[in-house]
Amino acid sequence: MDKIKMTTPLVEMDGDEMTRILWQMIKDELLLPFIDLKTEYYDLGLEYRNETNDQVTHDSAEATLKYGVAVKCATITPNAERMGEYDLKEMWKSPNGTIRARLDGTVFRAPIVVKGIDPMVKCWQGPVTIARHAYGDIYKNAEMKIGGPGKAELVYTALDGTETRALIHEFDGPGILQGVHNTEKSIRSFAKACFNYAIDTKQDLWFGTKDTISKKYDHTFKDIFQEIFDDEYKDKFDEAGISYFYTLIDDAVARVMRDKGGFIWACKNYDGDVMSDMVSSAFGSLAMMTSVLVSPAGVYEYEAAHGTVQRHYYQHLKGLETSTNSVATIFAWSGALRKRGELDGLTDLVNFADKLENATLATIESGRMTKDLGLITTLEDVKVLSSKEFILAIRERL
Ligand code: NAP
Ligand code: MG
């Protein structure tokens, strides 16, 4: 059989721990036998990030802007523990944070729905897709610990030197401070990405912020969404038979739990971080969720929404069998390959992506799955497979 050809390389961002192991297995068993795989490889594993003073992360983001499509493995965001474990020169920033700050845009996270894995929330009949703003707020903050009494102010200095000040707090003892920001440009592209995605997928769009408490910051998000909707999207939404619905974030949370699903929920950066873990867990597993960053420049970065599955990796290092779910990482590859195929007009590559996803879902529906799914499935006659056996079972079907 001739291997499927590619014309433009994918930007491949390798990662850490258990997901790095899965990454290689997926390439060896599910991709390289079928595709003449072209990638430009960036090793975002923590060791190499440390060796290059994190330059490799910045380079991988630039390459994504150049080629248009990237696929990323989960990576360690260092904390104090990791400093010692990896003998780090510095507590390097989160690669996802660095890449998102460079690309800007919106992360769409949708559950991978499969027969036999029923949502924990009984009324959900369709997927709940989270659209997470990927720029700013606490992910691009400045923080301070305050040692004792004193006055904290917000100061904005315009280019002509004029200052605008607002009192934050008069401290009478130690405390903490945080400054966050966003830009009108980024909020506008967030809004447009959400409206476009809603039209593309013919789903209603919900959006919630805390505009009653945050009368300037959150209210600006609300106002910009409404303005863009009224000016540019209202007619298109009517035509597509879908709606845009704004409510307070806490009201949105309460309604989501009672709704039948099948809509997109736009969230500010932090809300999206937290809610996507809730939604994916309620749909079965963190490993049953797709995640793609869509940037305003029209570039795409596909990834898994979960982390590096550290606990399983330590088992693996001890020589013990693991049963780690590779579905989200497989779907990151299939998503990236499909997009590359669409952009380059390669029907075979698009079809391969569909077949890879179908083979993955059919394997689970046949009762062969990893332990995380085995624990919650409604299917009978289930065979729980190891990390490797599961990938081999998919290959057999493929
Ligand atoms: P995690 O890797 O998401 O794993 C947390 C737990 O969720 C696991 O211990 C496992 O539960 C379960 N789990 C997650 N993915 C799974 C999978 N594919 N198959 C089966 N079970 C899965 O989070 P973490 O352990 O808190 O973080 C580990 C590292 O990942 C950290 O260094 C963090 O910085 C990094 N991280 C990276 C990203 C990213 O790059 N996108 C995102 C989040 C975290 P059981 O142990 O019960 O089996
Ligand atoms: Mg998170």
What is the model's pLDDT at position 295?
Answer: 84
- Compute, in angstroms, the gap from residue 310 CA to the centroid of ligand 1: 6
The position carrying tokens 């909020």 is 187
Q: Whose CA is nearest to atom 5 of ligand 1?
A: 309
Mutate which of 42, 309, 326 for ligand 1 pocket (most atoms within 8 A of beta carbon): 309
What is the model's pLDDT at position 297?
Answer: 77
Average pLDDT over residues 125-153: 94
Q: Whose CA is nearest to atom 12 of ligand 1?
A: 309
| Ligand 1 pocket residue status of 21, Cβ below 6 Å | no
Return the closest-CA partner of residue 328 out of 312, 306, 354. Answer: 306
What is the model's pLDDT at position 205?
Answer: 98
Look at residue 387 and tell me whether its pLDDT is greater than 80. Answer: yes
Average pLDDT, the chain: 95
Give residue 119's pLDDT band: very low, low, confident or very high (50, 70, 90).
confident
Give residue 35's pLDDT band: very low, low, confident or very high (50, 70, 90).
very high
Strands lying side by side in the sheet with 204-209: 39-43, 10-14, 69-72, 300-304, 289-294, 106-111, 128-133, 263-267, 204-209, 244-248
Give residue 76's pLDDT band: very low, low, confident or very high (50, 70, 90).
very high
Look at residue 155 and tell me whether its pLDDT is greater than 90. Answer: yes
Return the closest-CA partner of residue 197 out of 207, 182, 185, 210. Answer: 207
| Ligand 1 pocket residue status of 310, Cβ below 6 Å | yes
Distance CA 82, CA 88 (A): 8
Indicate which ligand has the atom closest to the C-alpha of 274. 2
Q: Whose CA is nearest to atom 46 of ligand 1?
A: 311
Distance CA 121, CA 105 (A): 29
What values do phi and psi take at 70, rounded to 5?
-130, 155
Average pLDDT over residues 167-189: 97
What is the model's pLDDT at position 190?
Answer: 94
- Compute, in angstroms, the gap from residue 75 CA to the centroid of ligand 1: 10
Give residue 200's pLDDT band: very low, low, confident or very high (50, 70, 90).
confident
What is the model's pLDDT at position 276?
Answer: 86
Q: Whose CA is nearest to atom 37 of ligand 1?
A: 307
Per mean pLDDT, which range of 31-35, 136-140, 227-231 is the poorest? 136-140
| Ligand 1 pocket residue status of 89, Cβ below 6 Å | no
Q: Whose CA is nearest to atom 1 of ligand 1?
A: 307
Average pLDDT over residues 51-80: 97
- Compute, in angstroms, the gap from residue 17 CA to the centroid of ligand 1: 10
What is the model's pLDDT at position 169?
Answer: 98
| Ligand 1 pocket residue status of 77, Cβ below 6 Å | yes
| Ligand 1 pocket residue status of 386, Cβ below 6 Å | no
- In the 3-class helix/strand/coil scheme, how is 124-146 assigned residue by residue? CCCCEEEEEECCCHHHHCEEEEE
Look at residue 127 and tell me whether its pLDDT is greater than 80. Answer: yes
Evaluate whether 205 touches 194 at the Cβ level (below 8 Å). yes
What is the model's pLDDT at position 198?
Answer: 92
User: 312 vs 20, 62, 76, 316, 370, CA distance in Å?
Assistant: 12, 32, 14, 6, 12
Look at residue 178 and tell me whether its pLDDT is greater than 80. Answer: yes
What is the model's pLDDT at position 104?
Answer: 81
- Compute, in angstroms, the gap from residue 256 CA to the centroid of ligand 2: 19
Evaluate whether 90 touches 248 at the Cβ level (below 8 Å). no
Look at residue 1 and tell me whether its pLDDT is greater than 80. Answer: no
Look at residue 138 and tell me whether its pLDDT is greater than 90. Answer: yes
Look at residue 396 and tell me whether its pLDDT is greater than 80. Answer: yes
Q: Whose CA is nearest to atom 44 of ligand 1?
A: 307
Distance CA 118, CA 264 (A): 19
Average pLDDT over residues 6-23: 98
User: 348 vs 96, 284, 355, 359, CA distance in Å?
Assistant: 31, 31, 10, 16
| Ligand 1 pocket residue status of 322, Cβ below 6 Å | no
Indicate which ligand has the atom closest to the C-alpha of 304. 1
Indicate which ligand has the atom closest to the C-alpha of 293. 1
| Ligand 1 pocket residue status of 387, Cβ below 6 Å | no
Average pLDDT over residues 282-300: 86
pLDDT in tens, 245-270: 999 999 999 999 999 999 999 999 99
pLDDT in tens, 312-340: 999 999 999 999 999 999 999 999 999 99
Q: What pTM value is reported for the model?
A: 0.87
What is the model's pLDDT at position 45?
Answer: 98
| Ligand 1 pocket residue status of 306, Cβ below 6 Å | yes
- Compute, in angstroms, the gap from residue 118 CA to the centroid of ligand 1: 21
Average pLDDT over residues 204-219: 97
Indicate which ligand has the atom closest to the C-alpha of 310. 1
Q: Whose CA is nearest to atom 8 of ligand 1?
A: 309
What is the model's pLDDT at position 237?
Answer: 97
347-365 vs 327-344: helix axis angle to the nearest 10? 160
Give residue 39's pLDDT band: very low, low, confident or very high (50, 70, 90).
very high
| Ligand 1 pocket residue status of 324, Cβ below 6 Å | yes
Look at residue 177 and tell me whether its pLDDT is greater than 80. Answer: yes
Indicate which ligand has the atom closest to the C-alpha of 269. 2
